[in-house]
């Protein structure tokens, strides 16, 4: 049977037809199906801890792997293993970064309010980092642990509070890196190691948490360095980064209100006591909001999943926008949760089916590759036959001459 006929057979296969229909359906519906399939796949192998049984968490892994369920599953399981190996829960709960103030003095960075959508805004003045001093007050290992603890805090506190305030699901950060003065010369080996380690952690274990990164005040020195740094980053992450020169303000103000932008970046905020980057300014520091968030997302409730579903219901017609008080109504949670997951049986393909379709697609792709190789080999063979005929002619002529 030729490759072509195998492909035709597979194309006739009803499963393949279903997968073509999925591609034709609207994007969100497809996303929901794929999330549900990944969820079923993980549940079937008992590899989905309650903490991560969340529509948006699974969606992040799928997005990062181009909606390939097998690859998303592998990435998700790697994340679980990393959390186990590095005791991430212990870092989140117990790690004390005593050198916090000293680090902030030589490496100005921090969360500062929200962007216009309501996402946390994170700012780093990378160009002002005093690296030799930084390495005196902390180590790469401790800084990386601090970074992990901050990531955990963002996911467990900053995003939920921002979601409550904005009344929509928020699970990504907008960031601004001021690289004024930064170039290849002042980016040492230890800085490169730290950058690479943090990049690896963020893209492998906290995928899709970056909404947009504005790199501002990029001069020629930074642009040379950027060529090196880009090699550490995933294409999806790179697509979310804008490298801007000194005329960055209008672009940044499209995403951030001036009141949330520090004065030193062209905004209007002048936080007292230590300046804007020491404050961890944002709704997540408001005790009332922390309490509301804990009530909504606290222990004993499978709450992030449920609240996310409640908030997500804004996008469904016939569902009123929830207020903070309404959010913890159990019946409402169940009802809205059902909007996302009620179709477990109705109208949604099982994880096994979706998986089979993806495998079919992958087989088709391999067949096309093989056909391409076969065609190339055929051409090469033809050329070789011609050359052989030419050589035979030459040999005949030589024989005649020698005789």
Q: What is the nearest approach in angstroms of Zn ion to the Cβ of residue 249?
A: 16
256 binds Zn ion (CB under 5 A): no
C-beta separation of 205 from 79 below 8 A: yes
How far apart, in whole angstroms, are the C-alpha atoms of residue 251 and residue 236? 21
Residue 158 per-residue DSSP state: I
Q: What is the nearest approach in angstroms of Zn ion to the Cβ of residue 267?
A: 8
271 binds Zn ion (CB under 5 A): yes
Tell me if residue 58 falls in helix, strand or coil. helix
Q: What is the nearest approach in angstroms of Zn ion to the Cβ of residue 258?
A: 11
Beta strands across the sheet bearing 109-114: 109-114, 120-124, 173-178, 210-216, 241-243
Alpha helices in 239-279 (DSSP H): 249-255
Q: What is the nearest approach in angstroms of Zn ion to the Cβ of residue 282?
A: 10
Q: What is the nearest approach in angstroms of Zn ion to the Cβ of residue 262?
A: 5
Q: Using the minimum distance from each CB to Zn ion, give the nearer residue, 144 or 276.
A: 276
Q: Which stretch binds Zn ion (CB under 5 A): 25-33, 94-102, 240-248, 268-276?
A: 268-276
C-beta separation of 169 from 114 below 8 A: no
Q: What is the nearest approach in angstroms of Zn ion to the Cβ of residue 271?
A: 3
Q: What is the nearest approach in angstroms of Zn ion to the Cβ of residue 287?
A: 19
User: How large is the angle between the packed helices 189-205 and 69-85, nearest 10 degrees?
Assistant: 120
Q: What is the nearest approach in angstroms of Zn ion to the Cβ of residue 252?
A: 15
Burial 345-382 (b: 16+ CB within 10 A, else e): eeebbebebbbbbbebbeebeeeeeeeeeeeeeeeeee
Q: How far is CA 354 from CA 10, 16, 149, 278, 362, in A?
A: 15, 10, 36, 48, 12
Instruction: Show the site string, 273-292: x = touches Zn ion by CB under 5 A, - = not.
Output: ---x----------------
- Binding-site size for Zn ion (CB under 5 A) equals 3
Structure tokens at 373: 């190789």
Q: Using the minimum distance from each CB to Zn ion, give the nearer residue, 199 or 285.
A: 285
162 binds Zn ion (CB under 5 A): no
Q: Using the minimum distance from each CB to Zn ion, give the nearer residue, 34 or 269.
A: 269
Q: Using the minimum distance from each CB to Zn ion, give the nearer residue, 263 or 379.
A: 263
C-beta separation of 76 from 61 below 8 A: yes
Q: Which stretch binds Zn ion (CB under 5 A): 41-49, 85-93, 223-231, 269-277?
A: 269-277
Q: Using the minimum distance from each CB to Zn ion, give the nearer residue, 129 or 277.
A: 277
Q: Using the minimum distance from each CB to Zn ion, give the nearer residue, 114 or 269.
A: 269
Q: What is the nearest approach in angstroms of Zn ion to the Cβ of residue 368?
A: 55
Q: Which stretch binds Zn ion (CB under 5 A): 68-76, 247-255, 264-272, 285-293?
A: 264-272
C-beta separation of 193 from 156 below 8 A: no
Please give the radius of gyration of the chain, using alpha carbons only, rounded to the nearest integer: 27
Tell me if residue 298 falls in helix, strand or coil. coil
Give the count of beta carbons closer than 10 Å to the beta carbon of residue 402.
Answer: 6
Q: Which stretch binds Zn ion (CB under 5 A): 92-100, 204-212, 266-274, 388-396?
A: 266-274
Structure tokens at 327: 């959010």
Q: Which stretch binds Zn ion (CB under 5 A): 16-24, 152-160, 229-237, 263-271?
A: 263-271
Q: Which stretch binds Zn ion (CB under 5 A): 48-56, 103-111, 161-169, 271-279?
A: 271-279
Q: Using the minimum distance from each CB to Zn ion, give the nearer residue, 110 or 207.
A: 110
C-beta separation of 213 from 124 below 8 A: no
Residues that bind Zn ion (CB under 5 A): 269, 271, 276
């Amino acid at each position: 049977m030729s490759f072509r006929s195998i492909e035709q057979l597979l194309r006739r296969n009803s499963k393949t037809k279903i997968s073509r229909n999925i591609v034709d359906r609207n994007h969100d519906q497809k996303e929901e199906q794929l999330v549900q399939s990944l969820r079923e796949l993980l549940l079937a192998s008992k590899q989905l801890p309650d903490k991560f049984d969340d529509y948006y968490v699974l969606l992040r892994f799928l997005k990062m792997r181009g909606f390939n369920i097998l690859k998303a599953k592998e990435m998700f399981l790697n994340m679980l293993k990393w959390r186990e190996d590095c005791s991430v829960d212990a870092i989140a709960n117990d790690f004390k970064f005593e050198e916090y103030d000293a680090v902030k003095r030589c490496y100005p960075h921090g969360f500062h309010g929200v962007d216009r959508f309501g996402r946390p805004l994170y700012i780093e003045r990378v160009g002002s980092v005093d690296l030799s001093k930084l390495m005196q007050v902390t180590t790469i290992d401790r800084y990386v642990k601090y970074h992990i603890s901050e990531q955990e805090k963002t996911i467990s506190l900053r995003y939920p509070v921002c979601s409550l305030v904005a009344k929509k699901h928020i699970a990504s950060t907008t960031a601004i890196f001021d690289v004024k003065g930064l170039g290849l010369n002042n980016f040492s080996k230890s800085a490169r190691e730290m950058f690479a380690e943090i990049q690896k952690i963020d893209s492998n274990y906290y995928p899709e948490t970056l909404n947009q990164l504005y790199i501002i005040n990029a001069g020629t020195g930074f642009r040379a360095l950027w060529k090196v740094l880009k090699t550490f980053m995933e294409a999806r992450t790179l697509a979310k980064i804008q490298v801007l020169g000194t005329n960055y303000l209008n672009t940044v103000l499209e995403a951030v209100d001036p009141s949330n932008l520090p004065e030193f970046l062209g905004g209007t905020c002048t936080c007292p006591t230590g300046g804007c980057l020491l404050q961890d300014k944002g709704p997540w520091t408001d005790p009332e909001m922390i309490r509301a968030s804990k009530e909504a997302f606290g222990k004993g409730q499978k709450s992030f999943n449920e609240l996310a579903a409640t908030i997500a219901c804004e996008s469904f017609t016939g569902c009123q926008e929830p207020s903070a008080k309404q959010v913890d109504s159990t019946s409402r949670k169940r009802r809205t949760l059902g909007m996302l997951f009620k179709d477990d049986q109705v109208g949604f393909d099982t994880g096994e089916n979706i998986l089979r379709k993806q495998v079919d697609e992958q087989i088709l792709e391999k067949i096309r590759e093989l056909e391409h190789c076969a065609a190339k080999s055929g051409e090469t063979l033809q050329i070789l036959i011609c050359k052989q005929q030419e050589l035979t002619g030459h040999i005949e002529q030589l024989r005649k001459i020698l005789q």
